[in-house]
Amino acid sequence: MYRWPVNFRTNMFKTSCSRVTGLVVASVNQKLLAHAPQSHVTVRSLIQLCRNDPSQWITFQHLSFLKRQYVMKNSGGLSQRAKPKQEPEASLLDDRDDSLVTQAQQISAVAPVPGAVGNSNRASALEDEPEAERQARMEARQWKELRVRYSELPGIYARLSKVKLTALVVMTTAAGYAMAPVPFDPVMFVLASVGTGLSSCMANSINQYFEVPFDSNMNRTKNRPLVRGQISPLHAVSFALACGIPGVTLLTLAVNPLTGFLGALNIFLYTCCYTPLKRLSIANTWVGSVVGAIPPIMGWTAATGALDPGALLLGAILYSWQFPHFNALSWNMREDYSRGGYRMMSVTHPALCRRVALRHSLSLLGLSALGPALDVTTWTFPLVVLPINLYISYLAYRFWAGADRQGARRLFFCSLWHLPMLLLLMLTCKKRPLPPQEATPLALQS
Amino acid sequence: MNVRTIRYLLFRTRRSILTSSRHSAGQPPQDENTRFNPAPTSKYDWIGPPDRLSNLRPVIYHIPENETQLERKLRHLRQETEDWNHAFWTYQNVTFTKEKEQFILSQLKLKGLTEKDERGRQRTLSSEEMAVFYKHFLDKNCKKHASYNKEWYRRNFTITLLMGRVTLHSIWRALSGQVRSKRKTMMPE
């Protein structure tokens, strides 16, 4: 009995477009009519289940929603375009609000089964007559006042600025700072991280501001604050400027002008190049990879004040990492991209997509070997990091050869833990500068 | 599809068209007794659930009593943009679904398979086969998407700038109203 709404939900998510619920209703209709003799209790209990038992709904929906969130990620991020954690409960429940009520509407739209209740004539009159009013009532419940509730603002801002993605970006910046061969200055470290975080918030907010109608049409992004109208576009832009201007100013004045310039450049690349390009050309992926490569360079320049080869190496590693990550992710979202008008490699040039992912996974091996060559890491680093690099290359090869959804999913999930692991190993293998007394005998000899 | 569902879909599409005509006609449509109407005491706009076809959320704009020229211009622009967006995405989604179905049927015919298999379930194509259709759809609509993009960015900027002007205007009005009332209370009799 409890399986029907569960199947209903699975169908909802599999089809992923609300406009196809008609088909689902039709199939539910058929099922109900087919099982008419046995279903006289279940139709009623089905409707009661919709109304009275939300806990069952949350459990299964939670699972499939999470699965969908985790698997069907889109690009649109500042660097890694990764969202490893699921959306908070609040948005989950609000999604339930919309679709649950529409489902209840659909189920009540089903004609009562003849012979289901004792006196069917009276029952059908009761069913038909207030049905329109019931629909209107349910629809009215879904309309929300466009008023800013101050208690909700922190959550809204967190979702607007994609705070989890921002945290990942700040993590790569911190890694860049830590890898720089200078004494660690905690104050500068914090200032660089805060400045980068604020810049990332601005970039993400402006990205959401630009993409409201597109976000509405894709499942993963349809619960964003601007799509749901929780704040106005003006409010979103003001928030973005309130984050970005202090952020870039902080980087320029308190850290150094080079880092400030890189921060501003990154915001520009992300909002004015990557976001519009997503709908115009597949070159957006390369621009997006550059956007992802800049934060660790910013961390390094915050420490040293110069664009050393070490900084460029870190940037190159992040740049190469973006491709297996994003190409694998976009492989399973081709339908949504096509319908939304996004020009991604996975849709327009599928073979290129897989080739590029493989190419850049292999290049990670080469870039790791450059670590000791550029005095960034000790010689142990390429050896220690070889297993994970080989593993991701192997998965990229399987993805390239098989071109299937499963392979793409595996590669994407691998990339999620591969990057933090790589950065951590790099930190542990960082080349420590020699203490002064060891250097002098060499100077004496020469 | 269920006849009732088709009627429901048409009802929703018609509703959104009538929402736009409502604001210009200034009168609620008579035949839509099941339409949502916000409470007359509400001073805010109301946003509804996503539309079935366009996935965009309709907004009912609140018309204040002493609406200025600027505010009316903003409201008209927002309503017009909403309608334009709704029309574009409805057409886009409906065309996509239709063409996808046609593609699947034509491919199945090429393979010599029927639409439903032995167990009565609908046959689907593999993701590789579908990818051909997705690419074709994107390429076919390239120019249309580009022009929509440009137009959307333009409208978005205009609406936001206008919102900014309206906000500044109302702040100015509130401040100058306070100053004027202070002067009145301070003036000697």
Residues of chain A neighbouring B15 (CB-CB closer than 8 A)? none
Residue window 208-247, chain A: list those with CB within 8 Å of chain B.
209-210, 212-213, 216-217, 222, 227-229, 232-234, 237
For B155, the closest chain A residue by CA position comes to: A210
For residues B40-66, average pLDDT: 86
* Residue of A40, A114, A78, A313 lying closest to A206 (CA atoms): A78
Residues of chain B neighbouring A343 (CB-CB closer than 8 A)? 138, 142
Nearest-Cα distance to chain B for A154, in Å, is 21
Mutate to test the interface with A, among B52, B55, B90, B116 (most CBs of A within 10 A): B55
* Residues above pLDDT 90, as percent of chain B: 30
**DSSP alpha helix (H) spans, A35-130:** 40-52, 54-71, 89-109, 120-128
Residue B130 C-beta-side C-alpha neighbours within 13 Å? 21
DSSP-assigned beta bridge partners for residue B46: A145, B60
Query: Each residue of A86-127: pLDDT tens digit?
Result: 444 443 334 444 444 444 444 444 444 444 444 555 555 555
B47 with A109: Cβ contact below 8 A: no
Higher pLDDT, A145 or A257: A257
Task: Give the pLDDT band (50/70/90) at residue A1.
Answer: very low
For residues A375-386, average pLDDT: 90
Q: Which residues, 6+ apart, have CB-to-CB distance to A326 below 8 Å?
A: A75, A81, A285, A288, A289
Query: Each residue of A215-271: pLDDT tens digit?
Result: 998 888 888 999 998 999 999 999 999 999 999 999 999 999 999 999 999 999 999
Query: Each residue of B59-88: pLDDT tens digit?
Result: 988 888 888 888 999 999 999 999 999 999
Mutate to test the interface with A, among B95, B101, B135 (most CBs of A within 10 A): B135
pLDDT reported for residue A94? 41
* Residue of B181, A271, A95 lying closest to A86 (CA atoms): A95
Q: State the ipTM, two decimals.
A: 0.77
For residues B155-170, average pLDDT: 93
A142 with B49: Cβ contact below 8 A: yes
Amino acid of residue A333 = M
For B45, the closest chain A residue by CA position comes to: A146
Out of B44, B128, B164, whose CB is closest to A147? Answer: B44
Higher pLDDT, A210 or A29: A210
Residue window 394-423, chain A: list those with CB within 8 Å of chain B.
403-405
pLDDT reported for residue A20? 45
Taking the Cβ of residue A135 and every Cβ of chain B, the question of whether any pair is shorter than 8 Å is answered with: yes
Out of A145, A234, A403, whose CB is closest to B46? Answer: A145
Taking the Cβ of residue B16 and every Cβ of chain A, the question of whether any pair is shorter than 8 Å is answered with: no
Question: Which of the following CATH numbers is that of domain A149-307: 3.40.50.300, 1.10.357.140, 2.60.120.380, 3.40.50.720?
Answer: 1.10.357.140
Task: Give the pLDDT band (50/70/90) at residue A77.
Answer: very low
Per DSSP, the three-state class of B47 is strand
The pLDDT mean for chain A works out to 78
Q: Is residue B134 scored above 90 in pLDDT? A: no
B96 with A146: Cβ contact below 8 A: no
Task: Give the pLDDT band (50/70/90) at residue A438.
Answer: low
pLDDT reported for residue A13? 42
Helix, strand, coil shares of chain B, percent, nearest 5, are 65, 5, 30
- In angstroms, the CA A179 to CA A378 distance is 12
Amino acid of residue A140 = A
Higher pLDDT, A230 or B131: A230
pLDDT reported for residue A261? 95
pLDDT reported for residue B4? 52
Task: Give the pLDDT band (50/70/90) at residue A386.
Answer: very high
**Domain residue ranges of chain A, discontinuous segments joined by +:** 149-307, 308-432
Q: Is residue A165 scored above 70 in pLDDT? A: yes
pLDDT reported for residue B31? 37
Task: Give the pLDDT band (50/70/90) at residue A18.
Answer: very low
Higher pLDDT, B34 or A199: A199
Task: Give the pLDDT band (50/70/90) at residue A357.
Answer: very high
- In angstroms, the CA A260 to CA A410 distance is 37
The region of weakest confidence among A179-188, A241-250, B90-99, B110-119 is B110-119
End-to-end CA distance of chain A: 87
Give the DSSP H/E element, type plus range, for residue B59.
strand B59-60
What are the Cα distances from residue A96, in Å, to A212, A222, A349, B145? 21, 13, 36, 31
Q: Which residues, 6+ apart, have CB-to-CB distance to A323 below 8 Å?
A: A285, A289, A356, A357, A359, A360, A361
At A340, give phi and psi (nearest 5°). Answer: -80, -5
Taking the Cβ of residue B93 and every Cβ of chain A, the question of whether any pair is shorter than 8 Å is answered with: yes
The pLDDT mean for chain B works out to 79
pLDDT reported for residue A111? 44
A20 with B97: Cβ contact below 8 A: yes
The region of weakest confidence among A38-47, A189-198, A311-320 is A38-47
B138 with A341: Cβ contact below 8 A: yes
Mutate to test the interface with A, among B57, B79, B91, B141 (most CBs of A within 10 A): B57
Task: Give the pLDDT band (50/70/90) at residue A61.
Answer: low
- In angstroms, the CA A51 to CA B82 distance is 33
How many other C-beta atoms lie within 10 A of the C-beta of residue A119? 8
For B87, the closest chain A residue by CA position comes to: A213
* Residues above pLDDT 70, as percent of chain A: 68
Out of A106, A146, A276, whose CB is closest to B44? Answer: A146
pLDDT reported for residue B135? 86
